[in-house]
Structures are given as C-alpha cells and as structure tokens.
Amino acid sequence: MKTLILFYSLDGLLKNLSKTMKEEINGDLLQLQDVKNNTGIYDKIPYKSFIEDNLNLETLREDIKSYELIVLAVPNWFYKLPIGLKRNTLGNIFSGKKVALFTLGKDLKNIRDKNELFFNSDILGTINLDIAEAKDKDGINKCKIWIKKMYEKGIGKTMHT
C-alpha cells in the first residue's frame, strides 16, 4: 500500500521519528514547509506558520493524490481548532484518505478537533508520545509497533473495499 509520512518538525525530533516510521513500512517522506520566506524578527517565532496558515498545503493536493495511507506526524496542537491551518483546506486534501495521526508533546485529548478537521477521512488510529518518551528507546519502539499496526490496518481495509 502506497504510504506517505507527512511531517512538520522544528527541532528535528519529529523528522527523526518520521524517518524511523518510513524505514519500518517503506513509505515516502514529505515535510510540511513554510511558503513564505520568514525574514523579520517576528517571523522567527516558532510555529508562526501554523498561526498564519503559511504552509504548503495547496501543493499537497497533487503530492498526495496517489497515496492510499497518509501518516501525519505533527506537534500535538497542530490540528487544534483555535489556531493554525484553514480547516477546509486540510480537510479537503485528506478527504477520502486513510489517515493515521502521530502527535508529539503533552496529550491534549483533542478528539473533537480531530473529527472536525478530518471530517471525511478514515482515521485508522492515533498515537501521542511526550517528548521525553520520543527520545528514549522504548518510545521509539512504541512508534515502530504503532506504524506497523496502522499499515496493516490500512491494508486490511483496502482488501475489504
């Protein structure tokens, strides 16, 4: 099953975990990036792109068209409704796709936000690792086990459709 691991990483931790997942399931990697060249002092504020919706979402529509499973690896507040991305943009891009959500940071239990943002997607599963856990061997193993499970679940759903 063709799988894309789509991630946003400021400090490199999510990038490394995404690479680990890629190796486990032989998926492809794509990093969310700013579409604006942030040059001012205010522009250097971490995660400003989410608040102002400056990510490369429109170009994603073509990039992800051929993928059956999208693994979204992001900070845990990424799809919180009060800040960030245009909800319809992201929701429409993932519409009809199998999606697995990997978040990093304090678990905010934002189930309502996930359901509202990914309104027409098949959410196969979610996992949240806190930062300390993500840096340790057990956390990395937990990540490996989870991604294999999501991949197998996606294959199972593909066979039944």
- CB 28 within 8 Å of CB 22: yes
Residue pLDDT, tens place only, 40-75: 544 555 555 454 555 556 567 677 888 999 998 988
- CA angle, 157 then 16 then 140, to 5°: 65
Owning domain of residue 134: 3-159
Percentage, residues of the chain above pLDDT 70: 63
What CATH number has the domain bearing residue 32? 3.40.50.360
Q: Which stretch of 35-39, 58-62, 95-99 has the lowest confidence by average pLDDT?
A: 35-39
Q: Which has more pLDDT, 32 or 43?
A: 32
Tokens of 31: 């990093």
pTM of the model: 0.80
Q: Which has more pLDDT, 80 or 65?
A: 65
Sign of torsion, CA 114 117 122 124?
Answer: negative
pLDDT at position 19 over 70: yes
Tally the domains of the chain.
Answer: 1
pLDDT for the residue numbered 31: 86
pLDDT at position 77 over 80: no
pLDDT at position 137 over 70: yes
pLDDT at position 150 over 80: yes
Where do we find the tokens 């806190």? 130
Q: Compute the distance between CA of residue 151 and CA of residue 73 in angstroms, rounded to an integer.
A: 15
